Amino acid sequence: MERKEPKSTRDAYGDALLELGQNDKVVVIDADLSVSTQTNKFAKKYPGRFFNVGCAEQNLMGVAAGFAISGKVPFASTYSMFLMRGLEQIRNTIGYDNLNVKLCVTHSGLTNSSDGASHQCLEDICCIKAIPNITILIPVDSIETEKVIESEINRKGPCYIRLNREKTPIIYDENYEKKFGQYKFELGKAVKLREGNDLGIIATGTTVHIVLEAADILEKEGINTEVLNIHTIKPIDKNTIIETAKKTGRILTVEEHSIIGGLGSSISEILSENYPVTVKRIGVRDKFGESGEYKELLEKHGLTKENIVISTKELLNNENFY
């Protein structure tokens, strides 16, 4: 089957909402950013079930909660950074009451590159992860985004879906098939994209395709890495992570997020309690974002295949590259 052209996960989200619109329980709420979040597609086709609350993110959370209580399935969207303005309502209303609200945020990480620190969110996983009841999902490409949305419409409970602005290379085809076999999307289940014995590399979201490129380079040099895609940060797949650690003895994590409280922290917590091995984390190191070209920002924070290759070799040689 011919692969789709790369596109951003926010675009895939907008397309997925159109399919969900056939279900009259689905409502979409936005905070005056419907073109950017791609919810404008739903608004045009289903105007009676689309609501723009304006630049009022706390109200966005309250309206979404109200719809959930009334039996609707609300998808509430804005930039990941701006959603942080409604953190109290997410905690005290949506999380505490375990409401069926789907928080779908775009422009996550560094992908809103040109707008700088005020629009780049590098701590959202950390903040949301600490709130009970909320599932956290980070799809790797447009195909996985569709599967994530499809899964969430059939699951009751709050979720946080982290989407990006930039076009992302396709990892899966329309049958959700990877080059090592076919599997069904499963909430909370890590995906093993490559088998390897020398090192385990665990990534999420935008960084997965970069890791796969690095793994190809390393393979040519005789280093076989095991690559896991963690599309569900919470609940996270402890068993597969521990299995990879036992198999490889060393773990490298890669994420477009602060290394504090994100994927790397979760992996470290799991392994320190269950199977201690050396874990090195690649991500943003306790810094705010800044304006720049997206590619340049990735390079600055080491989120490149070249740095992953270097870091892998340093880790295999037991060098500390913090």
Per residue in 263-294, pLDDT (tens digit) is 999 999 999 999 999 999 999 999 999 999 99
The one catalytic residue in 2, 5, 19, 57 is: 57
CA distances from 255 to 6, 26, 41, 260 (A): 20, 31, 30, 11
Domain 9-162 class, CATH top level: alpha beta
Please, where in the chain does CATH 3.40.50.920 lie? 188-315
**Which token pair is 58?**
């706390």
pLDDT at 177 over 70: no
Q: Which amino acid is at 218?
A: L
To the query of whether residue 174 is one of the catalytic residues in this protein, the response is no
Structure confidence at residue 180 as a pLDDT band (50, 70, 90): very low
Please, where in the chain does CATH 3.40.50.970 lie? 9-162
CA distance 82 to 68: 21
Q: How is domain 188-315 classified at the CATH fold level?
A: Rossmann fold (3.40.50)
pLDDT at 120 over 50: yes
- The model carries a pTM of 0.93
Residues 102 and 75 sit within 8 Å (Cβ to Cβ) = yes
CA distance 134 to 157: 7
56 phi/psi in degrees, rounded to 5 = -145, 75
